[in-house]
Amino acid sequence: GNYPNAPPCIKGWIPWFGVAFEFGKSPLTFISQARDKYGPVFTVVAAGKRLTFVTLHEDFRTFFMSKDVDFEQAVQEPVHNTASISKESFYKFHPACNTLIKGRLTPGNVAQLTDHLCEEFNDHLETLGDQGSGGLNELVRAVMYPAVMSNLLGKYNSPGSPFTMEQFKEKFAIYDEGFEYGSQLPDMFLREWASSKCWLLSLLGNMVVKAEDDETSSESGNRTLLQHLVTLITDKFLPNYGLLMLWASLANGIPITFWAVAFILSNPTVYQTAMEQINAALKDQDTRKTKVTAEELQQMPYVKWCILEAIRLRAPGAITRRVVRPLRIQNYVIPPGDLLMVSPYWAHRNPHYFPEPEEFKPERWEKADLVKNVFLEGFVAFGGGRNQCPGRWYAIMELHMFAALILFKYDVTLMDPLPKPSNLHLVGTQQPETPCTVQYRHR
């Protein structure tokens, strides 16, 4: 129409539906093929939406910093579909929500959550017993779901509560699995997904009541994220915001933990180097009641490199902004209304920034100034700008802690080859395509 300088546009032959089918089958592969064919900036029309992909690193600054793009306007509809929060409420509360979480999870505040998280991980790891075998993905979830929930949101399972952890694992898995479709489609097309969402919303309703009760008794320094949220959100959507926060805190962190442990175990020299550091830092510790402090984590920089390398290789498929005014990128003008997309997954496969990009090479992180919390150039797993992931310092600490603890306490062996990542999803990180069994024995 009025934008002759718009980027090349990929449309399907069925009007409106566009390339939704082809795109939906394997969006990650589709993006890289489209880039090869159409160049670094291109628009995909899928299910009535225009998604404009920006693939050159030099344009990422514009994506993160331009005043002509907007985060809230890009995610409002998906937020409505996935957490049933009204448009008015979202625009009213979201900016303060983001500021709140960012403020609660600064590197300094994260250090104060470390001891409690370690206790939780230790206790849940102990329930594995002396030896056994099982799916690594299931193992990671069984330990991390309850531990991270309790660490960030407070204990939810008040005695006599009808919500069990087993049910939670099942409902959350369905909700997370369908999150991408759920963000696009009305509930009526997705019965089972919608019912899991309802279950989770009542759980959050229950946790909010508990957080409000405990609010009066806890000192401000010890409040959980949920208790802070309770004082911020003053409308009826409080549990819904709780659900979003819960999803954000588990959806990427936990699958990437799986990948981090799997990468370490599948690579003998990496494993050996990591174990030397873990054993040196924790040498006199009890393997049954292991306490890893923030200082001890700092003595295991190689393990942290492994974590960052796993995050690099399994970064979210896409992040998004809404174009609100005509936006110049390369020689194109992107029309307002487009969803602007960056794929961290593909950005991290650019050999200019990450030589041998498909290789798991923790040493590449030696060059990053991690003490000053600076990542490697070209690393965008946590997004950027005002809406950069506020949980990133927590995420790194959590993954670092989990890897150190499980490897110190247990001798773990992979029984299956390292799975391939599934490329079914664009939102969030990739799940393993095949099961991955481990054998473990308490040290």
Calpha distance 338→343 (Å, rounded): 16
Residue found under tokens 């939102």: 427
Q: Which of 253, 317, 335, 419 binds ligand HEM (CB under 6 A)?
A: 253
Q: Which of 153, 300, 381, 405 binds ligand HEM (CB under 6 A)?
A: 381
Name the token pair of 200: 């989770």
Closest separation in Å from C-beta 324 to ligand HEM: 15
Spell out the alpha helix ranges (H) of 127-235: 136-153, 165-177, 179-184, 191-215, 225-232
308 binds ligand HEM (CB under 6 A): no
From first CA to last CA, the distance across the chain in angstroms is 67
114 binds ligand HEM (CB under 6 A): no
98: three-class secondary structure by DSSP? helix
252 binds ligand HEM (CB under 6 A): yes
Q: Which of 43, 62, 82, 249 binds ligand HEM (CB under 6 A)?
A: 249
| DSSP-assigned states of every residue in 237-260 | THHHHHHHHHHHHHHTHHHHHHHH
76 binds ligand HEM (CB under 6 A): no
CA-wise closest residue to 260 among 123, 109, 436: 436
Q: Which of 388, 414, 441, 442 binds ligand HEM (CB under 6 A)?
A: 388
**Which residue, 270 or 315, is less far from ligand HEM as judged by CB?**
315
Residue 318, beta-bridge partner list: 427
Neighbours of 326 (CB within 10 A): 14
Closest separation in Å from C-beta 439 to ligand HEM: 26
Q: Which span (14-22, 199-207, 314-322, 412-420) binds ligand HEM, by CB under 6 A?
A: 314-322
262 binds ligand HEM (CB under 6 A): no
242 binds ligand HEM (CB under 6 A): no
DSSP 92: H
Residue nearest ligand HEM (C-beta atom): 383
Q: Which span (125-133, 177-185, 361-369, 375-383) binds ligand HEM, by CB under 6 A?
A: 375-383
Neighbours of 410 (CB within 10 A): 21
Q: Which of 26, 73, 98, 277 binds ligand HEM (CB under 6 A)?
A: 98
> Do 393 and 106 touch, CB atoms closer than 8 A?
yes
How far are the Cα atoms of 122, 146, 156, 404 from residue 164, in angstroms, in the given order? Answer: 20, 11, 9, 28
Burial 417-438 (b: 16+ CB within 10 A, else e): ebbebebbbbbbbbbbeeebeb
Q: Which of 297, 389, 407, 438 binds ligand HEM (CB under 6 A)?
A: 389
Calpha distance 439→415 (Å, rounded): 7
**Which residue, 104 or 171, is less far from ligand HEM as judged by CB?**
104
Q: Which of 395, 397, 412, 426 binds ligand HEM (CB under 6 A)?
A: 395
> What mask, x for binding ligand HEM by CB under 6 A, covers residues 151 to 190?
-x--------------------------------------
Binding site for ligand HEM (CB under 6 A): 98, 101, 105, 152, 245, 248-249, 252-253, 256, 311, 315-316, 319, 381-384, 387-391, 394-395
